[in-house]
Structure 1
Amino acid sequence: MHALTLIAASLPGLAALGALLFTWMQVGQTSKELRISEHGQITSRFNAAVGNLGSESLDVRLGGIYALQRIMQDSARDQPTVVSVLAAFAQRHAGSSTKSLQKSLESSAEHEPTADVRAAIATLGRRSPEHDGGTIIDLSTTDLRGIYFAEDAPIRLPRAELAEADLRHAQLYGADLHSAMLSYANLDQAYLDEANLRGAYLYGASLWAANLNAADLRRADMTCGVESVNANGEVIGREQCVKLQSAYLERADLRNATMTDVDLSYATLTNADLRGADLRRADLSYADLTKADLRGAKMSGAKLTGAATVGTRGLQEG
């Protein structure tokens, strides 16, 4: 009799537990169905946006780009795919640097990428890189002459692939390009003031009269690059060394940068920090090194003919 009483007393609790378990299972099933529905909606939105990228109408293409931007904001798991699509779109619609580099620097000053290319790269440059999942933004061999981003909204393209890109007259104030691949890129008269180029690969690049004031170039690789090699690994042609003639590097941070054989003739390096930089065989003829810091820099074979060295620290006497 006592056992029956105990069972009867526990029945309401067991019933409540059963109801709670049933409710939990229902909530779990509903949540699963909701996720499936959301993924289905994102897939539909993605397909529609990609379809718009192929339109002949500029307005429709822009709509597709902004739709993909919203998908990245709504779904971090889809960001790597969106990044790849937008990079491929920009690379294709901007055109090849192989053709653009045949045009003069003067003509490049008047060139500007189309609105949809600028929008695609702006979307890439203002995303949250931590959700890329290892995806590399590939804009190599792309014509990006005169691309412009406002100083108050710098882009972020760390580790981007920009090898052999045409970036003449590009305006990338404060851009985050740390560890970016810029080998053999042409950055003549580009504006990279206060840009983060820490650890960037710039071997064989051309930066004639480029603006790099207060830029961070710590540990950047600016060594000579080989123009090309054949199938046997044999060098075809001559080495292509970094060109920084007449470049503006006032207050630039070049600590521990590798700059062997770089051409810095007539460059402005006032108050630049070159501590520990490798400047062996560099041409610093007529460069302005006023108040630059060269302590610990490797200078063997460097040319300093006509260089301004008032207040320069680290230069050995003679």
Structure 2
Amino acid sequence: MLLWYPQFQVSKFEITNPKDLADAENSYRATLAQIFGGFALLLGLYFTWGNLVTAKEGQITERFTRAIEQFGNEKMEIKLGGIYALGRIAKESKKDYWPIMKILTAYVREKSPVDRNPSNICKISTEIQAILEVLSDHEHPDTDVINLDNVNLNGARLINHPNLKFVSFIGSSFKKADFGWVNLESTDLKGANFERAYLWGSNLQYANLIGANLEEVHIGGADLKYAKLVRANFKSADLNGADLKEATCKEADFTNADLQNADFTGAFFLTFDQLSKARSLYNTKLDEDLANILKEKHPDLFENPITEEVIRQRMEILTSLGAVPFTKE
């Protein structure tokens, strides 16, 4: 083709000079050679890329098999290695993401079911803690639900802004768990038990907390905008600085709850009876009509709870612990 095609193309121009004719043919040949060379290069790159993808998939399959074997090992250190290896594979391979999530969550549901006895606070095992860390280190799509319903996660601890968005924790127990700054946006926590848990600064926007137990929970500074708090128990809870704008608060129990600096602007079904039982409404943002009637009937709720007596008691505690408080001379 490189021999006759240039001759055919050049003949159309009726070149009579032999030297010019030869130069034109050679120019066509050089151009065709470059085109064919470029095509061959692209074809080679395509097949090389395909081979690399196949090789990578083979490596991931091998790693997946090895991680599952480690996960099933009786020795804790090997089991933990398998859990964290599965977590890394889930980040690298979209194809293996959901199978890995389902394997890990099925293990949690089987090995750590919730204990309905309120007197029992059985803390989670080391491998369950590791699985929870892996789950909280992923951006979970909302195309499917990660099912951790009715599981025991008492005493669990997550740090570094963990992400549990879109996870289902219906009926699960988080007693004394440390979930500070956790992302629980749009999470289903219906009937969950957070008694005495630490959720400071957490994101609970749009979360379903219907019937949840949050007694004595530390949830100050949390974002609870648009959350469903129907029949939620906030007895003696610390909600200092929490954002509850447009949350649904029907029949929620705020008895003895610290609501100072909280924002209830636009909250639905929030009543005088609910807030009159709170420990403090100091600097709390409320809809005007509700705030006026509460200030009229219970003005003491709006007073600054940090009195000189409280400061004195705290200074005494610091002194007893060996701390030297700063004082002006």
Report the counterpart of residue 42 of structure 2 in structure 1: 24
In structure 1, C-alpha distance between the alignment counterparts of 2:133 and 2:271, rounded to whole Å: 38
Deviation at 1:289, TM superposition (A): 1.2
In structure 1, C-alpha distance between the alignment counterparts of 2:289 and 2:165, rounded to whole Å: 27
Report the counterpart of residue 138 of structure 1 in structure 2: 147
Report the counterpart of residue 177 of structure 1 in structure 2: 184
Deviation at 1:206, TM superposition (A): 0.9
Report the counterpart of residue 229 of structure 2 in structure 1: 222
Report the counterpart of residue 117 of structure 2 in structure 1: 102
In structure 2, C-alpha distance between the alignment counterparts of 1:133 and 1:164, rounded to whole Å: 20
Cα RMSD of the aligned pairs, angstroms, is: 2.6
Task: Find the residue that maps to 1:309 and give its secondary structure.
Answer: helix
Deviation at 1:78, TM superposition (A): 3.1
In structure 2, C-alpha distance between the alignment counterparts of 1:133 and 1:212, rounded to whole Å: 25
Does the CA contact (< 8 Å) of 2:188 and 2:208 recur in 1? yes
Does the CA contact (< 8 Å) of 1:291 and 1:309 recur in 2? no
Shift >6 Å, 4+ stretches: 304-307
Report the counterpart of residue 238 of structure 1 in structure 2: none
Percent identical among aligned pairs is 27
In structure 1, C-alpha distance between the alignment counterparts of 2:274 and 2:297, rounded to whole Å: 9
Q: How does 1:89-128 map to 2 (within 5 A)?
A: 89-93=107-111, 95-97=112-114, 100-104=115-119, 107-108=120-121, 111-128=122-139
Residues 1:246 and 2:261 are matched in the alignment: no
Deviation at 1:14, TM superposition (A): 1.6
Report the counterpart of residue 29 of structure 2 in structure 1: 11
Q: Which has the larger radius of gyration?
A: 2
Does the CA contact (< 8 Å) of 2:64 and 2:89 recur in 1? yes
Residues 1:78 and 2:99 are matched in the alignment: no
Task: Find the residue that maps to 1:283 and give its secondary structure.
Answer: helix
In structure 1, C-alpha distance between the alignment counterparts of 2:213 and 2:27, rounded to whole Å: 86
Structure 1 length-normalised TM = 0.81
Deviation at 1:281, TM superposition (A): 7.2
Q: Note the alpha carbon deviations across 1:177-217, whole angstroms, 9 max, x for none.
A: 01110001111111111111111000011111111111111
The structure richer in helix per residue is 2
Does the CA contact (< 8 Å) of 1:286 and 1:306 recur in 2? no
User: Aligned residue pairs: how many?
Assistant: 282
In structure 1, C-alpha distance between the alignment counterparts of 2:204 and 2:289, rounded to whole Å: 19
In structure 1, C-alpha distance between the alignment counterparts of 2:290 and 2:227, rounded to whole Å: 15
Q: Note the alpha carbon deviations across 1:88-144, whole angstroms, 9 max, x for none.
A: 233323x211xx12141xx42xx4211111111111101234xx4723221110011
Distance 1:194 1:308, change over 3 A: farther
> Which of residues 299, 302, 309 in structure 2 aligns to 1:310?
302
Does the CA contact (< 8 Å) of 1:260 and 1:281 recur in 2? no
- Letter in structure 1 aligned against 2:174: L
Does the CA contact (< 8 Å) of 1:276 and 1:298 recur in 2? no
Gaps of 5+ in 2: 1-6, 12-20, 305-329
In structure 1, C-alpha distance between the alignment counterparts of 2:273 and 2:103, rounded to whole Å: 41
Moved more, 12-21 or 59-68: 12-21
Residues 1:36 and 2:19 are matched in the alignment: no
- Letter in structure 2 aligned against 1:140: D
In structure 2, C-alpha distance between the alignment counterparts of 1:261 and 1:305, rounded to whole Å: 21
Report the counterpart of residue 46 of structure 1 in structure 2: 64
- Letter in structure 1 aligned against 2:227: A
Q: How does 1:279-290 map to 2 (within 5 A)?
A: 279-280=270-271, 283-284=274-275, 285-290=277-282
